[in-house]
Amino acid sequence: MLIDALEKELSHLDESGLRRILRVAEGPTNIRQRITDRAGVTKEHLLFCSNDYLGLASHSKVKEALKEGVDRWGGGSGASHLISGHTRAHVDLEEKLSALYEPFIGMNRCLTFSTGFMANLAVMTALGGEDAELFSDQLNHASLIDGMRLAKGNVSRFKHKDYVSLESALSRSTAKKKIIVSDGVFSMDGDFCDGPQLVRLAEKYDAFVVIDDAHGFGTIGDTGLGTIQYQNIQSNRVISIGTLSKAAGLSGAFVIAPRLVIDYLEQVARSYIYTTASVPALSYALLASIDIICGDEGALLREKLHKIGEKLFEGLISIKSSQSNLHWRIPKTMTPIQPVVLGDAASTMGLSIGLENLGFRVPGIRPPTVPEGTSRLRITLSAAHEESDVDQLLDAMRQLT
């Protein structure tokens, strides 16, 4: 019977220490939050786990714009985009993003989605038809992977950033449509794809490159436009996907691509067509959030983020070098994602729980989210953190190791 079978599977998760728990935040998104655990105990935590990288979720201008958006546009959109849910607020957002990316993907068009997950399903299924082959970095985000599972075309995986094996797969492929799929900033490692190299391969083998820049948008590049700006990629073979739920502090996603690609998505992508258009007030508020990201304030926030990132990295290195028994791998990243790879799942979770008991929320990430033997703490920083917050975290980690 279903219930018995599920119960058995859940208790198996319990026994192997893999059962995840939901915690409840009792207040707005911020680096300090009161959180209730499963035992019902509420206490304040200092968070190093949010993707609200610039602190815009609680920014006064963003909140004001959201309220104003509700006054102008009301609540829900009432229908899917192709019926009657596509509002001027959505169009304004799409046009703004399209113009911002024009120097990188010329003659582009932008299409917005309710979430990054849905944008990725749309792009993978619409472009990855039977006559397509998708070439996927092994560490790509789950939503790309699920999109590829739904796509009818073949999927060839290559080892993380192993572009030599990518090239040999491309050279063997006889597919009519070849699509290279990669995160821009990898969500569990904080490293970048090599965009120029991917574009070079795309040109050589007549392919397209999909870059999912969920973590890059807002956090890197001179005006926050992400990997494509940071690596100065100019190509009409690139399809860039950004989420508006992370650095932009709200929710939603966008796809920028040569116009024809977007015209096609709009006609066939099922996660675009068969879902209600997002709340228009969100699009309205996102205009304010993007103004902050691309303006002087955004530049200052990114500078601060970078500075506390350096401090964190140096502190971690000093903890590691002061204790010969620590075999941490601490990759240097230019992004707000700083992994500390411990290797085994048990010690990773032990440290994560130890930190939680001291009032720090730093998730431990283990298989299947990351490959076996690479369990890690995933520390994420926000421009809302102060240097003293990083000091507190480092002190707690010292105490626990």
Ligand X SMILES: *Cc1c(COP(=O)(O)O)cnc(C)c1O
**Contact positions toward ligand X, by CB under 6 A?**
115-117, 120, 141, 143, 183, 187, 212, 214-215, 243, 245, 253
Minimum gap (Å) between residue 239 Cβ and ligand X: 14
Identify which of residues 235 and 335 has a Cβ nearer to ligand X in the complex: 335
Alpha carbon distances (Å) from 26 to 41, 42, 78, 268, 393: 12, 8, 30, 40, 22
- Residue 239 · residue 42 · CB < 8 Å: no
- Residue 387 · residue 308 · CB < 8 Å: yes
What type of residue sits at position 76? G
Which structure tokens are listed for 136? Answer: 């996927």
Minimum gap (Å) between residue 253 Cβ and ligand X: 5
Helices and strands counted in the chain (H then E): 14, 14
Which structure tokens are listed for 327? Answer: 């075999």
Identify which of residues 143 and 227 has a Cβ nearer to ligand X in the complex: 143
Sheet arrangement for strand 337-343: 337-343, 375-380, 364-365
Alpha carbon distances (Å) from 352 to 45, 193, 311: 13, 28, 20
Minimum gap (Å) between residue 44 Cβ and ligand X: 25
Identify which of residues 120 and 229 has a Cβ nearer to ligand X in the complex: 120
Identify which of residues 189 and 212 has a Cβ nearer to ligand X in the complex: 212
Identify which of residues 116 and 298 has a Cβ nearer to ligand X in the complex: 116
Identify which of residues 184 and 258 has a Cβ nearer to ligand X in the complex: 184
Minimum gap (Å) between residue 52 Cβ and ligand X: 12
Identify which of residues 115 and 348 has a Cβ nearer to ligand X in the complex: 115
Minimum gap (Å) between residue 371 Cβ and ligand X: 16
Minimum gap (Å) between residue 25 Cβ and ligand X: 16
Identify which of residues 108 and 187 has a Cβ nearer to ligand X in the complex: 187
Identify which of residues 173 and 380 has a Cβ nearer to ligand X in the complex: 380
Minimum gap (Å) between residue 336 Cβ and ligand X: 12
Which of 210, 207, 206, 176 has the alpha carbon at shortest distance from 193? 210
Alpha carbon distances (Å) from 123 to 152, 211, 241: 12, 11, 9
Rounded to whole angstroms, how far apart are CA atoms 280 and 64?
A: 15
Minimum gap (Å) between residue 144 Cβ and ligand X: 7
Residues 6+ away with beta carbon under 8 Å from 254: 93, 94, 97, 110, 111, 112, 113, 119, 241, 242, 244
SS3 193: coil
Give the HSE-up count for residue 215: Cα atoms under 13 Å, Cβ half-sphere.
26
SS3 256: strand
Minimum gap (Å) between residue 4 Cβ and ligand X: 33
Which structure tokens are listed for 281? Answer: 């007030």
Identify which of residues 145 and 273 has a Cβ nearer to ligand X in the complex: 145
Minimum gap (Å) between residue 85 Cβ and ligand X: 18
Identify which of residues 116 and 218 has a Cβ nearer to ligand X in the complex: 116
DSSP per-residue string spanning 105-172: STTEEEEEES-HHHHHHHHHHHHS-TTEEEEEETT--HHHHHHHHHSSSEEEEE-TT-HHHHHHHHHH
